[in-house]
Chains A and B, each alone.
Chain A
């Protein structure tokens, strides 16, 4: 039976420009990479990756993006939200030399992974953003990684450059066993090319418009295999990613129409 938790927001943290973390007292048995559906009654319901959960607290780190998040950002501590899940496939658990590449809103699920694997694996974490003010979870990632690398497009913090350029430099000079990534699709597509170039195995988390979250409505299906991203993703393994032809080309919008990336 699907579980729906209607819970009070315990704490709201202003993370950076347009990003807030919402913290709830709840024991959600979730694994890194999984997501929840968050409902704001009367407004809508959207999927969000879990930024961390430890049996006591759940944290969702969310970027203001559209109508739903506009309303969400008006909420105060003590207000109610309705959460169902966890859903989807998680990142696999490894204990070797790992490279984590997070871009923008892709950072929270990788933070959860890093927190779970810290001291069990050797973790290098690239936190990439447009600029210093858009760095997500910068305040806490450093405590859960072995090597922390910041990359900004404008060089206002860390290394100037995009996530994949920075990752390539690291890959050239270090030996990684596995790469994890989450972030904008263009970054992920370049990440796939990078990992293939250096023959590194990987798992990436992808995003599509989701409506039911449970594999029924078909809105998040990816071509040409018919992969159902909400139940068979959002974390995909190398062999699955290589089969999907639409990544980097188009995605389906609410009506089911294809929208091509420019």
Chain B
């Protein structure tokens, strides 16, 4: 299918933060059926992230607080170049800055990389100690960051937004008005808290962690639904997609592409193949000839 001038072999995208550190795992995900991949969010400098536990499970989902570990933009870009040497599928480089200035510096690097798209992580909920609040919670900040990056980026720019806002439509519109080429919805919810009752302690070292997994699906669907009606730019729908039917629903709500993340845990590395097979089965049974037909289907019957 076509997406912003690129040809994708499927509407599935590896969501940021999952297996996205090394070029080889990105390539493997493409081989398994993803149409595009997103790197783990890259900051200017190397980051160790939080100490463990960084992950814990509950019925319906999981919480994580990895803390944006990563090698920094210089090495991150080397991994992108290595990926591009062995794979021609579109790559979305996710970048994370603590200020507009940092986002602009990061964009200077991405301009000189072979990445196809730039995704602005405006909404990681796990680094609130370092950063007073998320960009994604303030429409003015969203507008300013997107505008600043768009002003210098030589690649299309996506804004990754947070579900933790009063009115997502206002934020989404701000990103579109600032020139965003697509929106990535949604980042993890919360953060939330899980407790070890025997030890009487929070499980995560960071105390709180972003909520993901199947429990997110209804919220993600609703947000994609709302935003689809509000903006004209394409949406990458993410949140609890575990089975083919979830991806179909996400596209019907208005997503052009569908992100897969935590499902790698529930169904293993072959999850992309499985989801695609299930999507194709549904489409054959229900007489859909192309992925494009699914997009926004519930809005127009």
A positions within 8 Å CB-CB of B: 1-2, 4, 6, 37, 39, 41-46, 80, 82, 211-219, 221-226, 228, 231-232, 252, 254-258
Contact = CB atoms under 8 A, between A and B. Distances in A.
B69 A255 contact: yes
B9 to A, nearest CB: 18
A37 B264 contact: no
A79 B74 CA distance: 44
Which of B29, B52, B269 has the most chain A CB within a 10 Å cutoff?
B52
A218 B79 CA distance: 13
Contacts of B21: 218-219, 221, 252, 256
Nearest to A228: B269
A255 B201 contact: no
Contact of B25 (A42, A46, A228, A255): A228
Contact of A4 (B23, B40, B52, B203): B203
B5 interface: no
Interface stretch (B55-63, B230-238, B275-283): B55-63
Given A80-B199, A82-B199, A256-B71, A218 B51 contact: no
B55 A216 contact: yes
Given A214-B55, A221-B19, A255 B71 contact: yes
Contacts of B169: none
A253 to B, nearest CB: 8
Contacts, number: 133
A217 B54 contact: yes
B66 A217 contact: yes
Nearest to A3: B57
Given A44-B205, A45-B205, A221-B22, A215 B54 contact: no
Contact of B57 (A1, A44, A80): A1
Given A4-B203, A6-B196, A255-B71, A45 B54 contact: yes
A217 B199 CA distance: 26
A4 B69 contact: no
Most buried by A among B55, B66, B75: B55
Nearest to A67: B51
A1 B66 CA distance: 20
A212 B202 CA distance: 17
B20 interface: yes
Given A6-B199, A216-B262, A252-B21, A211 B269 contact: no
B69 A256 contact: yes
Contact of A226 (B22, B47, B201): B22
24 contacts: A6-B199, A37-B52, A37-B53, A39-B53, A41-B201, A80-B199, A211-B54, A212-B66, A214-B55, A215-B269, A216-B18, A216-B19, A216-B262, A217-B17, A217-B54, A218-B25, A219-B69, A223-B23, A226-B25, A231-B268, A255-B70, A255-B71, A256-B75, A258-B75
Nearest to A2: B57
Contacts of A222: 24
Contact of B59 (A1, A226, A257): A1
Chain B interface residue count: which class?
A: 35 or more
B27 interface: yes
B49 A254 contact: yes
B265 interface: yes
Contacts of A221: 19, 21-22, 24-25
Interface string B88-123: 000000000000000000000000000000000000
A218 B20 contact: yes
Interface of chain A, main secondary structure: loop
B86 to A, nearest CB: 8
B59 to A, nearest CB: 7
A37 to B, nearest CB: 7
B56 to A, nearest CB: 7
Contact of B69 (A41, A211, A215, A216): A211
Interface string B1-40: 0000000000000000111111111111100000000001
A218 B18 contact: yes
Interface string B176-209: 0000000000000000000010110111010000
A219 B47 CA distance: 13
Given A39-B203, A215-B269, A226-B19, 14 more contacts: A2-B56, A41-B202, A45-B51, A45-B52, A45-B53, A211-B66, A211-B69, A214-B55, A216-B64, A217-B17, A225-B28, A255-B49, A256-B21, A256-B40
B48 interface: yes
A255 B48 contact: yes
B156 interface: no
Contacts of B22: 218, 221, 223, 226, 252, 256
Contacts of A225: 24, 28
A211 B23 CA distance: 19
A215 B265 contact: yes
Interface in B148-183: none
Contacts of B46: 255-257
A82 B202 CA distance: 12
Contacts of B55: 211-214, 216-217
